[in-house]
Amino acid sequence: MSDPAQGSTVEPTGSAASSALLDVAGLSVLLEADGAQRPALRDVSLTVRPGEAVGLVGESGAGKTMTAWAIGRLQPTAAQVQGTIRFDGTEVGRLTGQGLRAYRTQVAMIFQDPRAHINPVRRIGDFLTEALRINHKMPAAQARDRAVDMLAQVGIEDGARRMRQYPHQLSGGMLQRVMIAAALLTEPRLLLADEPTAALDVITQAEVMAILAGLRREFGLAMLFITHDLDLAAAICDRTIVMYAGQVVEVRASALLHTDPLHPYTAALAAARPDITQTAHRLPAIPGRPLSAFEAPLGECAFAPRCAHATEVCRTGLPGLVELDGGISRCARARELRGQLQAAHDA
């Protein structure tokens, strides 16, 4: 696990990140809505190195889930995908048949609502061993044993009994552990975790996060961790990517997100979270509401209408990506505002 204090662990996008496990460059996704093509993602670029945990943070509609779907080749069939996604050097968009199936074995997705994402009429054991039996042609008994072992690793002790049960007999927290176990059984190299704890209560959330983080480190897996919770991402990921309106607006080492953010939106997100150790007289909420990609205007900074630091230059053109201090920002005034953005966060 790379040391975030070093600060220079971030590769700027576009450069030959040849050691990257996952390399997304210029990803744009267009969806058909009301007869017109509307963007869901605009020019998204990110990299994940082997064994690295990267957080993907944003509010609803920011495009986080669509990014994960695009990486996992799960986007709706009507969606148009532009740009490249490379996994271990291979272009994912071109994969078909056997190659695509092999790719899916190496990239495992953990979904948000486990109860909706596990087939209610099939047993837990079936769910866990399905991929092993069908894709890897593993004999049923062997698959079963491995599943029971993995269940123990996620904290479910009486695995054999649980395997015979149906999803409705397990709680949400247990189901999410089952989902994690299933994801790890095929020995993937990259985990795409889409808000894995959003549907759980706070205590269960902490347990599941601990299991996920622990196992990830143990197996040396790379992870793209999607969440709306900036602090959660910062806690378990080395780097954090912030998205707004379908675009990447900041990439930063997690430790520096609060102390030295590079984009006003990140600072605002961090400030909006009430700090339990301090008394606030007013909760600083970001005015306005989050835009999704197809609502955002094309020729200016999407965050400008809600930004406390917006000026004319922000409205004259779409800001490009700026490299600063090992991080990336899509703020037109990033250099000027450097060092001032965390002011709202300080007591």
Rank residues 9 and 165 by Cβ distance to other proteins and give the closer one: 165
Phi, psi of 274, deg, nearest 5 = -65, 140
Rank residues 134 and 280 by Cβ distance to other proteins and give the closer one: 134
Does 303 contact other proteins by CB under 8 A? no
The minimum distance between CB 66 and other proteins, in angstroms, equals 13
Rank residues 122 and 289 by Cβ distance to other proteins and give the closer one: 122
**Cα 316 from chain centroid?**
31
- How many degrees, rounded to 5, is the angle at CA 140 between CA 136 and CA 145? 100
Does 103 contact other proteins by CB under 8 A? yes
Does 122 contact other proteins by CB under 8 A? yes
The minimum distance between CB 121 and other proteins, in angstroms, equals 6
Does 88 contact other proteins by CB under 8 A? no
Among positions 174-213, residues that touch other proteins (CB under 8 A) are: 182, 186
In the list 1, 33, 100, 280, the residue contacting other proteins (rule: CB under 8 A) is: 100
Euclidean distance between CA atoms 47 and 141, whole angstroms: 38
In angstroms, the first-to-last Cα distance of the chain is: 32
Q: Which structure tokens are listed for 300? A: 């200016």
Does 166 contact other proteins by CB under 8 A? yes
Residue-wise DSSP of 97-164: HHHHHHHHHHEEEE-S-HHHHS-TTS-HHHHHHHHHHHHS---HHHHHHHHHHHHHHTT-S-HHHHHT
Q: Which of 54, 113, 45, 58 is nearest to 303 (CA)?
A: 58
Listed ranges 115-123, 292-300, 303-311, 317-325: which one lies at the site for other proteins (CB under 8 A): 115-123
Rank residues 106 and 342 by Cβ distance to other proteins and give the closer one: 106
Listed ranges 48-56, 117-125, 274-282, 327-335: which one lies at the site for other proteins (CB under 8 A): 117-125
- Chain residues that interact with other proteins, rule: CB under 8 A: 72, 74, 77, 100-105, 108-109, 111, 113, 116-122, 130-131, 134-135, 166, 168, 182, 186
